[in-house]
Structure 1
Amino acid sequence: MSRPPTFTPPPCARARTLRTARGDFAVLDAAPGAEARSTALLLPGYTGSKEDFIALLEPLADAGFRVVSVDGRGQYETEGTERQEAYAQVELARDVLAQAEALGAGDQRVHLLGHSLGGQVARAAVLLDASPFRSLTLMSSGPAEVVPGQRDRLKMLGDALRTMTMAEVWEAMRAFDPPEDADTGDGEDMRRRWLRHNPAQLVATAAQLSGEPDRVAELAALPMPFHVVSGERDDVWPVELFDDMARRLGARRTVIEGAEHSPNTARPLETAAALASFWDGH
């Protein structure tokens, strides 16, 4: 679970509703002082939200980019449904296409970035229709299903969500937190975000993470620039898998020193610099 440094957006960003052909989505929309060079759409990971990218917004806006981070369907401040089929990967991918269309002006295309689960949704969107996108960045998002230990954890969580309330599951998860996470000061923000997630979304996307096939060859066939970003270590996918995926895609590869699964929160300035450098080239 990503831990944003704050849930308060910087002055360059505003919380608003993005209205699309597939419904309304809660976003943080950060703009540079002058005309934006291009727009980037950022998709959060499992149990995450648009706030996971807060620390990237100001440095990326300062670099001249408009950056929009989004709560997907059933995540935090975007409404969802109790029907798990509404969260099928293809449906979430169609949401991303609608978001890109709503952000684009005329022929403007957007840079797409997905973190973890968001990367696999972003990949599915690009494979449905690559035309709205300038580039694709996969951040800490592997080529296929998560490692066995994570699959076990996702199954346990899915089982709990079917029989317990969100509040009960939250208290159970906190009992397993490492001591260093006990007094971080963000507990109420994290709890509030968790309670507003739709449990059907969490169950459905957990199954996706546990059963995702390898679609790298399909992606590599597209005439699009790719960027694979990760920390030095990762407990969801081995870093070696990111290296191999980047090679198969012919992608730029960036490893953020001192970061693990969430370089966007652990090393935001270094991560923003790597993203801006990649987007500058496209």
Structure 2
Amino acid sequence: MSRPPSFTPPPGVRAYRLATARGEFAVFDAAAAAAPRGTAMLLPGFTGSKEDFVALHGPLAEAGYRTVAVDGRGQYESEGPEHDETAYAQDELARDVLAQARALDTPVHLVGHSLGGQIARAAVLLDPSPFVSLTLMSSGPAQISPSQQQRVKLLRDALGVMDMARVWDAIQAMDPPEETDAGDLDDGLDDRDDLRRRWLANSPAQLIATGRQLCTEPDRVAELAAVRLPKHVLSGERDDTWPIPLLDEMAGRLDAHRTVVRDAEHSPNTDQPLETARALAEFWDHTNTG
């Protein structure tokens, strides 16, 4: 489970509901502090939320980039059906992303973390026109690793027979699936209430449907490589959801820029936000001038 440094928007970040042709979505929106160089849209991963990018807004604003982090349908503060899994088919979520980008009414640098990367890829494959670049952050070419598939299956099975509160209590005894860098709670930051509140706000159907996607996602790298869009593969130096050599290979197949963030694991955006922001801004700067 991703563990953001705060659930409170930092100074300069506006929380509101972005109105789109496919409904409203909760966002954190930070304007560029320097001369504007572009706009980025940030999609969180499985069990995550827009708060996972909270430490990126400041440094990216200083670099001249507006950043809009989005809760997807049925994710934390964006509503979605509780029991209708068809509402969370990957194609539906990808069309949501296209609607969000169009609502921003400006070309968008698209960033997807983990599951968000696979949804971002699906959106680009449907229609790349709203986007000026794509960054896949800790997001691999196909299904997650076998060990993570087992953990996701346990979660999906639990959600089939227990309510969200009971599942939350049960998973405290183990690291949640896919987002495996939550750390412990003995470092002075007791965020269990915030994490629990976020968990309870998620749609069970969304978690079940997207968990299934993570375990069955096909390799669509060749399709993505054919799209004429600058691409960036960014990860930490350790990751047990998609092994680093697999991400290296994917970057080569995509002819993508590759960044490995030192001392980071599956969530470089929370593990090393300054280095992650610097890598994103440098890639976008190059895209703007290329």
Alpha-carbon spacing, 1:242–1:157, altered in 2? closer, same or farther (3 Å): same
Contact 1:112 1:122 in 2 (8 A): yes
Q: Write out aligned runs for 1:94-109 (5 A).
A: 94-104=95-105, 108-109=106-107
Aligned-partner Cα distance in 1 for 2:174–2:11: 35
Q: Evaluate the alpha carbon distance shift between residue 179 and residue 221 of structure 1 in structure 2; reply closer, same or farther with a 3 A threshold.
A: closer
Which residue number in structure 1 is paired with residue 178 of structure 2? none
CA deviation vs aligned residue, 1:91-110 (integer Å, no higher than 9, x gap): 00000000000012xxx310
Count of residue pairs brought into register by the alignment: 279
**Which residue of structure 2 aligns with residue 236 of structure 1?**
241
CA gap 1:120/1:179 in 2 versus in 1, 3 angstroms? closer
CA contact (8 A) 1:12 1:61 kept: no
SS of residue in 1 equivalent to 2:56: helix
Q: Name the SS of the counterpart of 1:94 in structure 2.
A: helix
**Does structure 1 retain, via aligned residues, the 8 Å contact 2:164–2:199?**
yes
2: CA distance, partners of 1:239 / 1:19: 37
Equivalent residue for 1:90? Answer: 91
Q: Which residue of 2 aligns with 1:267?
A: 272
Question: Structure 1 runs of 4+ off > 6 angstroms?
Answer: none
Q: Are positions 1:168 and 2:162 aligned together? A: no
Deviation string 1:151-178 (CA, Å, 9 cap, x unpaired) is 1111110010011010100111112259
Q: Structure 1, residues 153-208: CA drift from partner, whole Å, max 9, x if none?
A: 11110010011010100111112259951334111110000000000000000000
Structure 2 equivalent of residue 10 of structure 1: 10
Map of 1:122 onto structure 2: 120
Query: Do the aligned partners of 1:20 and 1:102 also contact (CA within 8 Å) in 2?
Result: yes
The secondary structure found in structure 2 opposite 1:6 is coil
CA contact (8 A) 2:108 2:130 kept: yes
Aligned counterparts of 1:61 and 1:53: Cα–Cα separation in 2: 13
Which residue matches 1:30? 30
Identity of aligned residues (%): 67
Q: Secondary structure at the match of 1:281?
A: helix
Could you state the TM-score of these two structures normalised by the residue count of structure 2? 0.94
The one-letter amino acid paired with 1:276 is A
Unaligned runs of 5+ in 1: none
Partner in structure 2 of residue 250 of structure 1: 255
**Whole-Å separation in 1 of the counterparts to 2:61 and 2:244:** 29
What is the aligned partner in structure 2 of residue 133 from structure 1? 131
Asked if the contact 1:18–1:27 (Cα under 8 Å) also holds between the matched residues in 2, the reply is yes
Q: Deviations over 1:6-55 (max 9, x none)?
A: 11121111101100000000000001235522110000000000000000
Q: 1:112 aligns to what?
A: 110
Q: Map Cα deviations across residues 215-240 of structure 1 (whole Å, 9 max, x no partner).
A: 00000001110000000000101000
Moved more, 159-168 or 35-44: 35-44
